[in-house]
Amino acid sequence: MTVTGEGPILHADLDAFYASVEQRDDPSLRGRPVIVGGGVVLASSYEAKARGVRTAMGGRQALRLCPDAIVVPPRMSAYVEASQAVFAVFEKTTPLVEGMSIDEAFLDVGGLARISGSPSAIAAKLRSDVAEQVGLPITVGVARTKFLAKVASGVAKPDGLLVVPHDGELAFLHPLPIERLWGVGKVSAAKLHERGIHTVGQLAAFDERELGSVLGKGAGHHLHSLAHNRDPRRVQTGRRRRSVGAQRALGNHRRSAAELDAVVVALVDRTTRRLRAGHRVCRTVVLRMRFGDFTSATRSHTLPQATAHTETILAALRGLLVTALPLFAEQGVTLVGVSLSNLDDDRPVQLALPFDVRGTSMLDTTLDVVRDRFGSAAITRAVLLGRDEGFVAPVLPD
CB 252 within 8 A of CB 62: no
- Domain locations along the chain: 1-165, 174-227, 243-395
Catalytic residue among 47, 91, 104, 194, which?
Answer: 104
For 210-268, how does the pLDDT look when each residue is reduced to its tens digit (9 = 90+)? 888 888 888 888 899 999 999 988 888 866 667 788 888 787 777 888 888 999 998 99
Q: What is the reported pLDDT for 109? A: 94
Cα gap 68→198, rounded to integer Å: 36
What are the φ/ψ torsions at residue 290 (nearest 5 degrees)?
A: -115, 145
> What's the angle, vertex CA 57, arms to CA 51 and CA 62, rounded to 5?
40
Cβ contacts of residue 109 below 8 Å, gap of 6+? 7, 8, 9, 10, 93, 94, 96, 116, 119, 122
104 is catalytic: yes
pLDDT value of residue 391? 44
pLDDT at position 1 = 38
CATH of 174-227, one of 3.20.20.80, 2.40.160.40, 1.10.150.20, 1.10.1060.10: 1.10.150.20
* Positions in the chain short of pLDDT 70: 1-4, 238-241, 327-330, 346-398
User: What does the mean pLDDT of the chain come to?
Assistant: 84
Same fold, 174-227 and 243-395: no
- How high is the pLDDT of residue 348? 56
Q: CA-based Rg of the chain, rounded to a whole angstrom?
A: 23
pLDDT in tens, 290-310: 887 777 788 999 888 888 899
The DSSP secondary-structure symbol of 121 reads: H
Backbone phi and psi for residue 44, each to the nearest 5 degrees, phi listed first: -145, 150
**What's residue 161's pLDDT?**
97
Q: Which CATH code is given to the segment(s) 243-395?
A: 3.30.1490.100
Residues 61-65: contacts with CB under 8 Å, at least 24 apart: 62/35, 63/35
Contacts of 18 (CB under 8 A, 6+ apart): 36, 42, 43, 74, 79
Confidence (pTM) = 0.67
Fold of the 1-165 domain: Alpha-Beta Plaits (3.30.70)
